[in-house]
Structure 1
Amino acid sequence: MTGRESEERPLRRAVCPGSFDPITNGHIDIISRASRLYDVVHVTVMINKSKSGLFTVEERIALIEEVTSAYGNVRVEAFHGLLVDYCKQRDIPAIVKGLRAVSDFDYELQMAQMNNGLSGVETLFVPTSPTYSFLSSSLVKEVATWGGDVSHLVPPTVLEALVGKLRRP
């Protein structure tokens, strides 16, 4: 592609939303794969005021930025509100979601249909790697709380932060 052609082609953009409390290797697998499909991937920490997380939103953003920095095309920020509003405000036409199991599909299909109906935003479902098909942030926190080894489930930086949080009174 010549310089002129690349200037004329709009950037392909997508969002990978979640709570990321904390980010796991499963999340990173999906973000990594999305980063190869899209020019810019927005990783968005969706804020739910009715939930209190282990990590603050700022801590989650910092951890995500650190563990995704090698991709070069990932942008991380938080958002409070409807995901479709986030997409509209940033002209993002696609949502990328990882699916672990059929139970995820039932819920995510409803969300995808609602999001498309509200705004025309498409959802791309990416099956998780079998290595991470059981993995969730909640499960990681629970196992780590009881002293279980989660070092193979999260990046080293996240493990250090997780252990540090759980040691505090």
Structure 2
Amino acid sequence: MEIRETGFEDLLVLKPSRFADSRGFFLESYNRERFIKAGIENDFKQDNYSSSQYGVIRGLHYQLAPYSQAKLVQVLKGKILDVVVDLRKDSPTFGKSFCQELSEENGLQLMIPRGFAHGFSVLSPEVLFSYKCDNLYNKAAERGIKYNDADLAIAWGIPENKIVISDKDEGHPPFKDAEYNF
């Protein structure tokens, strides 16, 4: 497994070893012992999958502490632009976003620490997305930031007239009005 730093503390791009032949490929997406040896010591408690079509934007989502979640995310089918925003007030990258294309072809994973808002846009006809979380979902602690906040100026890679967004995500406040406690 290759590990690439991002310039954001504890936010990592991972590339698992991939073994391909005429039948397809095999990769080990998670091995607790290997992650611990690499300094990634999250105790994952919940696995989630989502399926979406081209143009869907999900996010930007997070949970307030103490219910915040670190996430290990990857695409099983298709291609996305994965986006995170640092909400840790004492961080040198506070309020900045990081974007990474994740796809079944590149096999990359993103290890997102607690204290980040997370979202993604679907760039392929369909996508199957997987994420491991180190804390359980807590509806009362769920929060979000509006995906098209002008101050964040995230380029989601989807033409405006093709964006598909839920009413819930459309209703999130801008970054400057969002509630967070990291």
TM-score bracket for this pair, using the shorter chain length = under 0.3
| Higher strand proportion (structure 1 or 2) | 2
TM-score of the superposed pair, with normalisation by structure 2: 0.24
**Structure 1-normalised TM-score?**
0.25
